[in-house]
Structure 1
Amino acid sequence: MLGATDIRRLAAELDVRPTKTLGQNFVIDGNTIRRIVAAAGVGPGETVLEVGPGLGSLTLGLLDAADRVVAIEIDPKLAGRLAQTVREFRPERADSLDVVLADALKVTELPHAPAALVANLPYNVAVPVVLHLFEHFPSLEHGLVMVQEEVADRLCAGPGSKTYGIPSVKAAWYADMRKAGVIGMNVFWPAPKIHSGLVSFRRQEPPRTTATREQVFAVVDAAFAQRRKTLRAALAGWAGGAARAEAALVAAGVDPQARGERLDVAQFARIAEAGEAARA
């Protein structure tokens, strides 16, 4: 693995100064890399998708465990150096790496279909990236992402939790999300001011419904836009009036006086389905 000395040497060579804008915090501890790879459960025959490989420390760990790694990197300097780093540290695995220079939020095609996602994600775009990849790459069956601990709690929260919200519901549409641990600050360079959380996931089928994902997510967005309001009030704009919202909620078997934070993804799907049926 790349240690602190290797990371700083590569950064100096490339004249790379980690920026908050790109959320660049490089892992400098080999044991943390091994922990992430082990927790991800990557198999020897799998293609793994990594987002934001940076200087390549996690990439090397993934190449030790997987058949192939597809790495999406937005920084041209880092993307251009990654293959060389692999040739230096894992020459026998150099042909098993694909580097894609792109914004992960815009990628819809990859050179190989990934079965797993393992990534140290930039804090500021972690949730949009995860949801985008779930949507566009149904081949993703499992994986593990490292994100800000607060974001990890939101992704894994269940109904009734204080941290339950839009990320929780939308992630649950695609996968079973579980918190897999906490990572301290000192394993990064530069060290962030907050802890990171590991989130493991396994793909699951969305709720059985005639509503589309877009229709269900529209209900979720409306329900949490004013989370202190009852669903009858919060969904009035979505339904075309409070009375129509109440009718859709009753048809879905949901208490109109409930709040969105109490509902699971299947209940949101039933509301969307009832609303669309009323419009037909």
Structure 2
Amino acid sequence: SETSIDRTTKKKTVYFEGAQLMTSIEMLDALARSTWGTKMKDVFKELQPKFKKIKAAIKAHEKGLDKAAKDAEKKAAQEQKACEQAEKQRQVAEEKERKRVEKEKIKEGKRLEKEGAAAQISVGRQRGRGGARGGARDDDSGIPVIAPVHQRPRPRPRPKPVQKRNDTNATEDPASIVESEDEIPASRRESASDINLAEEVLEGEESPVEEVDEGGSDSETDSNSSEECIINCILQHQRSWGKLMFEVSWVDGDVTWQDLQSIDKCIALDEYLKKHGVKKPKDLV
């Protein structure tokens, strides 16, 4: 029962030596506390189910906050991973692009090196009975010297446009000596064709490297060997018998008419084409 005494608990010793009577204020305060405690027990008992719901709602809210925090962390981790992958892909793409640019630079350098080496070789002409056309080059150009091959010297005629029969002292300007095909007789056309054919045969038979005969003295070598002449510039062009001819000025002061085949790889021809605003010799008017 409620009035039963728990014998297992130890009784407290109460000392009444310092006991005193309560004042009216203390008595009112103790009475109020006792009344408040009795009433609050009933209130707590009535509100106990509500307290449980409130606690459950608080726990659910805390769980929701925890879940939201975990989701946010997971999403942040996924975004960071995606950013890392994108950065890695960007680095790979940049590396590929860098390698591609390096390869293109290497190819362009090789191409420019080849073009520079080809541009250093000037088209010369032979003078005299023999020579080393396309043989020894300048040491500064970086092109190796080709040893001449001993063989019989062969003359190389310079192709010139056909002149008028009556004008023996005329210059080599085709604008003043060339007639139209309609005004020239058939016999003269055939003779001019034979001359051009003979010139082409002689050019085809010429060896790329020629030298004077062996055993000659130094004076004979100096007099017979032809030296390579460099083209200074191209003055003008003219079509002769359907063949494109160029008036060439050489560095030694000589001026001759050459065909396209003899100056095809010359820098002066490139400058002349650039001056006329065309890319190929056949586009010249």
Please report the TM-score for the alignment, with normalisation by the length of structure 2. Answer: 0.18
Bigger share in helix: 2
Bigger share in strand: 1
